[in-house]
Amino acid sequence: MPLHHTTRHAIHPQDFKGYGTQKLREHFLIEELFQPDAIELVYTLYDRLIVGGVHPVNGPVALETFPTLRSDYFLDRREIGIINVGQEAAVTVEGEQYVLAPKEALYIGKGVKEVVFHPAANGPAYFYFNSAPAHHAYPTKQVRLAEAETVELGSLETANHRTIRKVLINSVVETCQLQMGVTELKPGSVWNTMPAHTHDRRMEAYFYFELPEDQAVCHFMGEPDETRHLWVKNRQAIISPPWSIHSGAGTSNYTFIWGMAGENLDYNDMDKVATTDLK
């Protein structure tokens, strides 16, 4: 089974300010996460989060370790959060099957040796995942959309009317440090995560999907007083350092998955930045 991986190193904010478009894309944009019958992943040195995608087509795809982890199996010292971003499909965890509807999540804790992703019966199967180091073994848990902690924020007047579903968060499922959720922009709304903010005790990754193929999202990042932007297409991801804001505006409404790792599990612990203070 092919597993393709790259490593992204942490960047100092002062160095970041001198980057041009191509260098920004090389360090922070993940353009390709899905290849047929393969696992594509990026090992980041921001809290050692792994950002990955699986696209089983012709048969099951097993989650295997790779040399950077120096482990006997992928979850030897890690936890993982999986969100279905395709059609209904199954994941088996040490032989037990979990059927995930679109946007449903599966948490798998440290010490699990066998995880297998299966093709969908009715259309393409796409699984997006984040994985972080873990110090404790918490049980596997499927989180259905009805079980998510759900809030509605924003308004059409400010073009940021959105539904936030916190699927892997400590009020829903026990984790060591991983948190994940799904944010859906309403038709007519394009801005996400406004007002912008930073959080020094955890990094974040964004995965944009349900975006029409002929549309794009302009993702904003950087320190609040000197921001940069990257244009992101459907099923692409952004790595966001702790010192960086993370926000975007699309040419259409869209959905994105946010995933966080670090020493803090308090979702509301952030340093908000007034929109009028951004530069």
Structure tokens at 264: 């803090």
Q: What is the DSSP letter of 229?
A: E
Residue-wise pLDDT tens digits, 43-101: 999 999 999 999 999 999 999 999 999 999 999 999 999 999 999 999 999 999 999 99
* Cβ–Cβ < 8 Å for 224, 279: yes
Structure tokens at 252: 């259409």
Distance CA 33, CA 42 (A): 9
Distance CA 111, CA 91 (A): 17
1 confidence band (pLDDT: 50, 70, 90): low
Quote the radius of gyration of the chain (alpha carbons, Å).
Answer: 18
SS3 147: helix
Residue-wise pLDDT tens digits, 182-201: 999 999 999 999 888 898 88
Domain coordinates of the chain in residue numbers?
A: 3-277
Residue-wise pLDDT tens digits, 203-246: 999 999 999 999 999 999 999 999 999 999 999 999 999 999 99
Q: Which residues contact 126 (CB under 8 A, 6 or more apart)?
A: 34, 53, 54, 55, 84, 85, 86, 235
Residue 194: its pLDDT value, please?
87
- Superfamily of the domain at 3-277: Jelly Rolls (2.60.120.10)
Distance CA 44, CA 51 (A): 8
Q: What is the pTM of this model?
A: 0.96
pLDDT at 8 over 80: yes
How much is the average pLDDT of 249-258? 97
How much is the average pLDDT of 246-269? 91
Residue 271: its pLDDT value, please?
86
pLDDT at 23 over 80: yes
Higher pLDDT, 271 or 249: 249
Residue 121: its pLDDT value, please?
93
Distance CA 210, CA 235 (A): 8
Residue-wise pLDDT tens digits, 132-181: 999 999 999 999 999 999 999 999 999 999 999 999 999 999 999 999 99
Residue 179: its pLDDT value, please?
97
How much is the average pLDDT of 241-262? 97
Distance CA 149, CA 135 (A): 25
How much is the average pLDDT of 246-275? 91
Residue 213: its pLDDT value, please?
95
